[in-house]
Structure 1
Amino acid sequence: MQAREANFDGLVGPTHNYAGLSFGNVASQTNEKSVANPLAAAKQGLRKMKRLADLGFLQGVLPPQERPSLRLLRELGFSGSDTAVIERAAKDAPELLAAASSASAMWTANAATVSPSADTRDGRVHFTPANLTSKLHRAIEHEATRRTLQAIFADPAHFTVHEALPGTPALGDEGAANHTRFCSQYGERGVEFFVYGRSEYRRGPEPVRYPARQTFEASRAVAQRHGLSEDGTVYAQQSPEVIDAGVFHNDVIAVGNRQTLFCHQRAFVDQSAVYDQLGAQLSKAGAQLNVIEVPDARVSVADAVTSYLFNSQLLTRPDGRDVLVVPQECRENPRVAAYLDDLVVNAGPIDEVLVFELRESMKNGGGPACLRLRVVLNEAERQAVAPGVWIDDALFGRLDAWIGKHYRDRLAPSDLADPKLLDESRTALDELTQILGLGSLYDFQR
């Protein structure tokens, strides 16, 4: 059966704000305490989904998680009514209220690692939710992520949704932001590429300024539980120097699709050996690796971090043309803009560059690639997905109206202390589960 790649984007939640919670993420720290616009953020993301769906791509949507997380605040010792919990946390520990209120689940590249059925031993699509242990505001996501994935990919004949890995630093797992799959055709056996920042037991080089979030041990464990073959799996270490420059995930310095790897010259430790290993394994799968390496002299690591050139989506259209989806910031950086112009003119494997306005997400350190989770599906698997999550004209219209009805157009960190925000969010999410047909996803619905 013919397989296609679907992208499931995270819908930005009603509590989207700039609390500066992500140490190592330059944009997040730079914009700390500024005023966010949740309504604009959600509509920017939704419009990206709609445009890609209009171009013929399979486009799904993942709902936001409930925020603020009263479960987290109660686990941390705050008690009383919901209003009392929020008011006490705002007074005594505003940093914990900010963590409990983060809308970071919108970046679904960190939701899970996904292996398609063509690669797995049992012929099912496997999902492992990321434990995201490096950040408190993200470590609280994986249980709700698993619940959402189980609701959307519910058929056990086609899908296996695992628990997250144990939440220990040795198994720090950041999901698909550090995972890429290469293949000849989506439905054929491929090579899964896992990139890690450090190893707990193998030691080796590590960054010194910012933490390495993904471990080798976590990547290997995901590959093992998904039933991947040794000759279909490649591991590479991210350059510690680029992590220290603000490249907190591999998808900030590299992106791949089918036979193409688009990356910076300084992306990996022992980069030529990484190319050799990928090429050798991909040739066994009947494909030839094509590397587009961006020279540091053309685009510096700093340029890559500020523009998010590599936090792009590299997609193959139904007509076979390859498209690079980039944020508007790439056009605002003259060196990156010039490189992209040359990339298309030189008639390489990338045929077209599409530019999107995603400024609200970008200010928190999330570009096009951060917002999507890639899932390769054959026709039977696609039919088994919950039908209400696919973006089309009707769903776009309903979601656009839903955002306009429920979202604020201004949210400062101090507004997180407003108990009304919890009621607004719950009202919105309750209606959303009905729109998407996903049943009772949230704690407050149970």
Structure 2
Amino acid sequence: MALTEINFDGIVGPTHNYAGLSLGNLAATSNAGRTSHPRAAALQGIAKMRANLALGLAQGIFLPHRRPDDAWLDALGTHAQDADTGLLANALSASPMWAANAATISPAPDTADGRCHLTVANLVTMPHRSHEWQGTLAQLRLAFADTGHFAVHGPIPAPFGDEGAANHMRLATSHAAPGVEIFVYGEKGGAFPARQHVEASRAVARLHGLDPARTLFVAQSQDAIAAGAFHNDVVAVANGHVLFTHEQAFADRHGFYADLRRIMPDVEIVEVPAARISLADAIRSYLFNAQLVTLPTGESALILPTEARDTPAVWRWLQDMIAGNGPIRRIELVDVRESMSNGGGPACLRLRVVADPATVDPRFLVDNPRLDAIADIVSRHWPEAITPADLSSPALWEQAVHARAELLAMLDLRELI
């Protein structure tokens, strides 16, 4: 079995809007009320996927969920036509686009039964995300239906918040080698909620059959949460034998680094000093919400948002890093400004799954011709712009349902309609 890392990107849905629903996500709340551009947002995401393919990376997709979420509104005793403004905004959120929150993944080399395990995230902390898991689970069960190679788990029960891969990292000498799995949890962050509960992380590790000797549970720093690092992937990312992190990402970084080096002596920790890049600049630029990937050449590359170039302190540090002799040798920039304005960078848009592509439902894998067909649907059916007033428009709801149905039909995924 040829294990490789497949990046599954969420296609930005036709109701992408700036309702400012995510407390603690400074980009989302500061841009609340702006006009969004769903068509441009989806096309930006498709362009990022094309760039990944050009780098020789395997690429998959997850599909937008039905919006408005009528079933969720029904359960609350209301309907889109008469729901209050707040509930309607939550029912229309396009947040499933951020696939890093879809699930936590443990590849086959790490698990007791030798299968890749996936646990769908419950996302209970935020109302607009708490009703995602059913739609996400339906897609996971289709994409990874081969039970000889995959085990797909339902959500961790409330009240233990689980935010998926955005608070999980894996280090390994190769994708096919046993790894070190790192679960990062929050405790408190001042005015902002800590979204990942340690009990949820421990439950996922047990469900996946992980080796306790190669599993770490690490507290996120309160300073990072308070500064707007609502998920660990806003201040740290790992791949291969490289951990790329901000100095203030973890509550006890020295203890964490010592534990990590004990398990994996050859780990390379690239720590960005706070004296060079503040937490504010790290979060503003989404320096760490990058895709840290291994290219077919074997070199490590960072796929960064263009905001990293636009933040002087960040760009100077990156140039110094590349000029040095560290493990990260290449930088690629992508424009995902619509997603960034709602609080999600390149890493938020993707879920990494280490698997043999031949074991994945091919309808969830893409190449350039398939992306051409998706882009054509988006260009013809996605709204060009959405203002806050548009959220109460039945015409928008009808357009969103129709646009999604067209995409699912083209991809032969009518089961999800």
Q: Which interval holds the TM-score relative to the shorter structure? A: over 0.9
Corresponding residue for residue 87 of structure 1: 81
Corresponding residue for residue 398 of structure 2: 423
- Deviation at residue 347 of structure 1 after TM alignment: 2.7
Counterparts of 2:12 and 2:236 in 1: how far apart (Å)?
Answer: 24
| Coordinate RMSD, CA, aligned | 1.0
Corresponding residue for residue 217 of structure 2: 235
Structure 2 counterpart SS, 1:64: coil
Alignment check: 8 A CA contact 1:50 1:391 kept: no
Aligned 1:256-271 pairs, distance under 5 A: 256-271=238-253
Query: Is 1:178–2:178 an aligned residue pair?
Result: no
Counterparts of 2:407 and 2:142 in 1: how far apart (Å)?
Answer: 14
- Deviation at residue 389 of structure 1 after TM alignment: 2.2
Alignment length (residue pairs): 417
- Deviation at residue 86 of structure 1 after TM alignment: 2.2
Q: Which moved more, 1:419-428 or 1:338-347?
A: 419-428
- Deviation at residue 166 of structure 1 after TM alignment: 0.6
Corresponding residue for residue 99 of structure 2: 108
Counterparts of 2:361 and 2:398 in 1: how far apart (Å)?
Answer: 27
Structure 2 counterpart SS, 1:87: coil
Corresponding residue for residue 201 of structure 1: none
Query: Is 1:375–2:353 an aligned residue pair?
Result: yes
Counterparts of 1:350 and 1:151 in 2: how far apart (Å)?
Answer: 35
- Deviation at residue 282 of structure 1 after TM alignment: 2.0
Alignment check: 8 A CA contact 1:247 1:305 kept: yes
Counterparts of 2:365 and 2:138 in 1: how far apart (Å)?
Answer: 18
Corresponding residue for residue 186 of structure 2: 197
Aligned 1:34-433 pairs, distance under 5 A: 34-78=34-78, 85-89=79-83, 93-168=84-159, 171-198=160-187, 206-283=188-265, 288-378=266-356, 382-433=357-408
Query: Is 1:13–2:7 an aligned residue pair?
Result: no
- Deviation at residue 70 of structure 1 after TM alignment: 0.9
Write out per-residue CA displacement over residues 194-224 of structure 1, whole angstroms, 9 at most, x where no aligned residue.
00002xxxxxxx3222111001111000000
Residue type of the alignment partner of 1:321: E
Counterparts of 2:233 and 2:311 in 1: how far apart (Å)?
Answer: 19
Alignment check: 8 A CA contact 1:152 1:438 kept: no
Alignment check: 8 A CA contact 1:207 1:244 kept: yes
Corresponding residue for residue 31 of structure 1: 31
Counterparts of 2:412 and 2:208 in 1: how far apart (Å)?
Answer: 28
Write out per-residue CA displacement over residues 81-119 of structure 1, whole angstroms, 9 at most, x where no aligned residue.
xxxx32312xxx101100000000000100000110111
Structure 2 counterpart SS, 1:383: helix
Structure 1 counterpart SS, 2:109: coil
- Deviation at residue 435 of structure 1 after TM alignment: 2.5
Write out per-residue CA displacement over residues 119-140 of structure 1, whole angstroms, 9 at most, x where no aligned residue.
1111111110100010011000
Counterparts of 2:325 and 2:394 in 1: how far apart (Å)?
Answer: 55
- Deviation at residue 437 of structure 1 after TM alignment: 2.8
Counterparts of 1:397 and 1:362 in 2: how far apart (Å)?
Answer: 23
Structure 2 counterpart SS, 1:109: helix
Alignment check: 8 A CA contact 2:302 2:328 kept: yes
Structure 2 counterpart SS, 1:366: coil
Counterparts of 2:415 and 2:405 in 1: how far apart (Å)?
Answer: 8
- Deviation at residue 425 of structure 1 after TM alignment: 1.8
Alignment check: 8 A CA contact 1:5 1:58 kept: yes
Q: Is there any run of 5+ residues in structure 1 with no aligned partner, and where?
A: 79-84, 199-205
- Deviation at residue 433 of structure 1 after TM alignment: 1.9
Counterparts of 2:213 and 2:65 in 1: how far apart (Å)?
Answer: 37
- Deviation at residue 439 of structure 1 after TM alignment: 3.5
Counterparts of 2:414 and 2:54 in 1: how far apart (Å)?
Answer: 27
Alignment check: 8 A CA contact 2:104 2:168 kept: yes
- Deviation at residue 416 of structure 1 after TM alignment: 1.0
Alignment check: 8 A CA contact 1:53 1:391 kept: no
Q: Is there any run of 5+ residues in structure 2 with no aligned partner, and where?
A: none
Alignment check: 8 A CA contact 1:195 1:250 kept: yes
Alignment check: 8 A CA contact 2:14 2:404 kept: no
The ranges of structure 1 where at least 4 consecutive aligned residues each deviate by more than 4 angstroms after the TM superposition are: none
Residue type of the alignment partner of 2:129: R
